[in-house]
Chain A
């Protein structure tokens, strides 16, 4: 029986993961910004047979609320077996180029809040001496592309932070998994023109995440075909990369 904390529990990928963990009889502490949607997510998992579902509405960029959130979570679950960090937004690259404010905001949501949460969680997990921190980063963090480099840079920060944290917590028996999804059909990508053949469903992503948690995968590309694609993209030499319009 797993005890699971999810930050960004209303996201489509988080919901799909939670449904699969529900089938294994998990208990949840769900955190998300929108309280009305959070109640619907909780009702869904309860009706599907989750052992227990507790919720807390919190904006991840409200850093002052993090400690109290974690305290309530620990009070309810006593030990956290898996923490899934799944919140995020996709900033509009064009407006990020025109002024600093949206770029800074995108960093606060996608990078800084995750760093702050992971710092708190790392200490909790270190004390526990067990558990998995599963963090949703992105393939976009592997390389800075002209079409999406603000989001990509925030996710690069998360990926690098997780890599360091993994090495630190490894000694304490805690695992850190960096999840790098490609294009996923979710509300976040609504309205984007994406190559249909490369777009995955949240359920496909979730199956890999749930299996990855069991296997203690370090870097999880999902769907799997992104691993070879990103291997190539990571190795395109800089002088050529800057000429590509990716």
Chain B
């Protein structure tokens, strides 16, 4: 009965048929049934992966969104166990009034708990807390022919490591237990300042990141000449007072998908100019709610539709510290000269905390994320040039966002892929995995 499911970027355009499991006791039979009927399947949460990593090779996925029950909560210690289909928003709604926040949150609260593990997501506090997997106590993994296995650093630890960032391939997570972070207020004390170029960004980041829980930058990658590399640097910390309130701002919606993208170079340039002018020229403190700080785009439901029916691709790479400054300069110069402009460009310095996951994306260095409306130009001209820069700098791309990287680039950047392949559940396979390892 469910409508065709798509990845967040709506590219590649391979609509998935969803098969829902409503109870944990039905999960194993559901996976077996889809596997038998279609040859392979893949768990599908809330469809927030951008490329083809959430698309089953058979185009028949097992939907976990109805597995949205909490199992137990210890509000003294901030330990929560819940089913894999619970979204991060649902967790925050319950945990914030009790003084707990997610230890690590990505840029959307609409990802599921299972998805956050499968992509080992990170956020604005990567430099201080690492990835989602660093705060994962244990989970239960349903494997074809093996039933449910509890995995933790001390039990089934090979599967624990392979599943964190394992792109849903090692089994279906039916529940997970996470450590939350204590907060005294749901509000964020932030400091915002413009920077004129990349040198200034790196200087600000080196000086200020380690004083703050959260740090991120937005960069105007359409600006050329003297404005090249300009952007806005944002840090934040949980406020020490101000109430523990769930933000419940009215959400806007993009109710349908226009035929063509509303994002183009002209509209992006106008937006970037306007946004940059709006920001303070000197460091300015502001207190904001957690929703506008962490999840500005969640304000607009289905914002991915503004890219039209062709969809969009996000290009997210991370470059090791030693090569980061030079590579970022090259990446931005290629992007600024390209035909299609990116309207959202996010720059973030990642820290050195190692994730327990084998295929975790972040590494000590600088991460850059760019969104582009889908055109053939991306894969034929722009992305090969960007890939060459990333390759030469020893960086890597983020599978959760990817719809284009070559198999060779993936296998070089993630040498542990063979361990994950060896532990892959025989019932599960994705379009992404087939593309980069097949």
A interface residue numbers (CB < 8 A to B): 12, 36-37, 40-41, 43-44, 47-49, 185, 187, 189-194, 196, 199
Contacts and interface: CB of A to CB of B under 8 A. Distances in A.
Given A40-B69, A41-B69, A47-B70, A191 B25 contact: no
A189 to B, nearest CB: 6
B46 to A, nearest CB: 13
Contact of A48 (B25, B66, B70): B70
A185 B70 contact: no
A179 to B, nearest CB: 21
A7 B108 CA distance: 36
Interface centre among A44, A47, A48, A187 (most CB of B within 10 A): A47
Number of chain B interface residues as a range: 10 to 19
A185 B20 CA distance: 11
B22 A43 contact: no
Given A187-B22, A190-B20, A43 B1 contact: no
Contacts of A187: 20, 22, 66
A37 B25 contact: yes
A199 B1 CA distance: 9
Contacts of B282: none
B144 interface: no
B24 A40 contact: yes
Given A47-B72, A48-B94, 11 more contacts: A12-B22, A43-B70, A43-B71, A43-B72, A44-B70, A47-B70, A47-B80, A47-B82, A190-B20, A191-B1, A196-B3
Which of B22, B70, B80, B98 lies at the interface centre, i.e. has the most chain A CB atoms within 10 A of its CB?
B70
A18 to B, nearest CB: 11
B280 to A, nearest CB: 38
B208 to A, nearest CB: 38
A47 B25 contact: no
B257 to A, nearest CB: 14
Interface in B77-102: 80-82, 94, 98
Given A37-B25, A40-B23, A48-B94, A185 B73 contact: no
A57 to B, nearest CB: 15
Given A47-B80, A49-B94, A193-B1, A36 B25 contact: yes
A47 B75 CA distance: 9
B2 interface: yes
Contacts of A192: 1
A44 B66 CA distance: 13
A192 B2 CA distance: 9
A192 B69 CA distance: 25
A36 B25 CA distance: 9
Nearest to B73: A47
Contact of B1 (A12, A36, A44, A185): A185
18 contacts: A37-B23, A40-B23, A40-B71, A43-B69, A43-B71, A44-B69, A47-B72, A47-B80, A47-B82, A47-B94, A48-B94, A49-B94, A49-B98, A187-B66, A190-B1, A190-B22, A194-B1, A196-B3
Nearest 10 A/B pairs, CB to CB: A47-B70, A44-B69, A47-B73, A187-B22, A44-B70, A196-B3, A48-B94, A192-B1, A43-B71, A48-B70
A187 B22 CA distance: 7
A34 to B, nearest CB: 9
Nearest to B21: A187
A41 B73 CA distance: 14
A49 to B, nearest CB: 7
A49 B94 CA distance: 8
Nearest to A40: B69
Contacts of A193: 1
Interface string B44-81: 00000000000000000000001001111100000011
Contacts of B69: 40-41, 43-44
Contacts of A185: 1-2
Contacts of A43: 69-72
Of B1, B66, B82, which is in contact with the most chain A CB atoms at under 10 Å from its CB? Answer: B1
A49 B100 CA distance: 14
Contacts of B82: 47
A54 to B, nearest CB: 17
A184 B357 CA distance: 39
Contact of A47 (B3, B23, B66, B71): B71
A185 B3 CA distance: 11
Contacts of A190: 1, 20, 22
A131 B1 CA distance: 37
Nearest to A41: B69
B44 to A, nearest CB: 15
Contacts of B73: 47-48
Interface in B1-28: 1-3, 20, 22-25
Nearest to B25: A36
B18 to A, nearest CB: 11
A46 to B, nearest CB: 8
A20 to B, nearest CB: 11
Nearest to A193: B1
Contacts of B98: 49
Contacts of B80: 47
Contacts of A37: 23, 25
A41 B25 CA distance: 13
A224 to B, nearest CB: 18
Nearest to B97: A49
A190 B22 CA distance: 10
B71 A44 contact: yes
Contacts of A191: 1
B409 to A, nearest CB: 39
A45 to B, nearest CB: 8
